Amino acid sequence: MPPFASSTLPTWMLQILPVAFLAITFLQSGLDKVINWKGNLDWQTGYFSKTPVLRGLVLPMFATLVVLELAAGGLCAAGVLALIFTGNSWLAVLGASVSGVIFLALLFGQRIVKDYPGAAGSVPYFLVSLAALFALRG
């Protein structure tokens, strides 16, 4: 962590803040899905019920999403700690990259079911993952 009077502090904060945002987003979302597995799976089943292509794939898609969300959240949280204590950005980059992939998968699903408002709502989150990668580019 740079000193507070350092000219590098704003750049460091631009790295930390979006990665912390992604950590919070995905740890909360992934843990919610684990804690309320049945309720979330039932909702997903209903959400994709009218899509012949994805209707039969809800369980594997959901399980994959949970694993990826927990991985992204964990990587981002570890990345924040690594940035604070060592300055190493590798875990943060990996977490932000996985986050971007998740947002693209969510966007795909929302577009398939023609949930255009939901898809539009995913865009700011995707932009946070891009902002993190941009700030971490070294």
Domain range summary for the chain, segments of one domain joined by +: 23-136
Using the predicted structure, report yes or no on whether residue 63 has a pLDDT greater than 80: yes
Q: What is the number of residues in the chain?
A: 138
Residue 108: per-residue pLDDT: 95
Lowest mean pLDDT among 40-44, 50-54, 82-86, 109-113: 50-54
Residue 22: per-residue pLDDT: 98
Calpha distance 64→47 (Å, rounded): 17
Assign 60 a pLDDT band (cuts: 50, 70, 90): very high
